[in-house]
Structure formats: C-alpha cells, structure tokens
Amino acid sequence: MRVISGIAGGQRLKSVPGSSTRPITDRVKESVFNIIGAEVEEATFLDLFAGTGGVAIEALSRGARAATLVEKNPRAIATIRENLEATGLAGQARVVRDDVFRFLGSTGEKYDVVYVAPPQYRGLWKETLRTLDREDSPAAYLIVVQIHPKEFEAVGLRRFVLEDKRQYGSTLVCIYRRAED
C-alpha cells in the first residue's frame, strides 16, 4: 500500500497487524480518486471504518483541507497515527477512536466527502448510508461506499442518489451524491 498521488505520493503505508481490516488496493484507490479527485481539493473529508487511514491520507495528499478518521480498533488507530506521521499529514487530520454510529450521532460537523468501508457481510454499509441520509447527518455532498459486490442492493434514500457504481474485482464502489433540493 502506498499514497498514489499528491504531496505524499509514493509514500508507503503500514498495514494493520492481523486480519481485522481489509485495506483498499492501490488500483481501487487510484480509480476512486480519478472519479472524485476534483471534489476532494479543499474538501473536509470523513473516513468511516478508517482501517489503515489510507483513503483519508490519499485525500489529504491530493489537497483535502482536513480529514477526520473514525475507527474503533486500537491496533488500527495506532497504524493510522503512524501512517499520518510518516506522510507528514498528521496536522490536517483528526483521529477518533469510537463506534461509527455513536460518532455520527454526536458530531455537529459537516463533511463534504464521506468514505464508508465497513467490515463485510454485516449490513453495516446500508445502516451507515441510511444514517448519513438523515437531515441531521454530517454528510453534506458526496458519499463513497466500498463493499463486496455480493452485498449490494438498492437502498431507498431521500437526500442522496446513487450516481455511479463500479466494480474492481471483489470490490464494488458506489458513489452517492446529494440530490438537488
């Protein structure tokens, strides 16, 4: 794993010890940022189920103003902090050790881009998406969801619409954009 582009481009990232996380591959990360790249510049970025922190670090490297990374696994938190320090991006990031749903229920901040990559086959992506669809949600504009293709099903949302869906091997990326009011 590495940072693909931007000010920390080429920097190697550490993995979380064990098998509790499934880091995004460089190929998928590069593809996602090719799609949403222009919208990341100067954005506030929220990385839910952050794992290694690789997605938020990529966003910061490509010009995001700030990133919040939410993860509850203590080993993942340590890895995120190490990766942020190694890339020199720690000053623009806030690392939160918390349950994603507790965090979403308590934050008063709004985020331009939200990235959701939960553990597979638990339905957490749908629950997260529905939470982000609420009026009091911190999601302001764009939500990117990373899941296994077999998990996908249409989710009825009011504030966001599925704009794009792309499969890269065993990874499906779904991009939801705020519906026009």
24-80 per-position pLDDT tens digit: 888 999 999 999 989 999 999 999 999 999 999 999 999 999 999 999 999 999 999
- Res 26: pLDDT: 87
Domain CATH for 107: 3.40.50.150
- Res 91: pLDDT: 96
pLDDT at 104 over 90: yes
Sheet of 139-147: strands edge to edge? 93-97, 66-71, 44-48, 111-116, 139-147, 171-178, 160-168
Percent of residues, the chain, with pLDDT higher than 70: 97
Within a domain: residue 164? yes
pLDDT at 164 over 70: yes
Mean pLDDT of the residues in the chain? 93
Angle, alpha carbons 116-131-95 (nearest 5°): 50
**Number of domains, the chain:** 1
Within a domain: residue 64? yes
- Res 67: pLDDT: 98
Dihedrals phi, psi of 167, to nearest 5 degrees: -110, 135
Burial of 67 (0-12, 13-18, 19+ CB in 10 A): buried
* CB neighbours of residue 42 within 10 Å: 10
Within a domain: residue 10? no
pLDDT at 170 over 80: yes
Domain of residue 37, residue span:
26-178
Within a domain: residue 7? no
Within a domain: residue 4? no
Cα separation, 16 vs 32, whole angstroms:
22
DSSP label at residue 93? E
Are β-strands 66-71 and 160-168 bridged in parallel, bridged antiparallel, or unpaired? unpaired
pLDDT at 121 over 70: yes
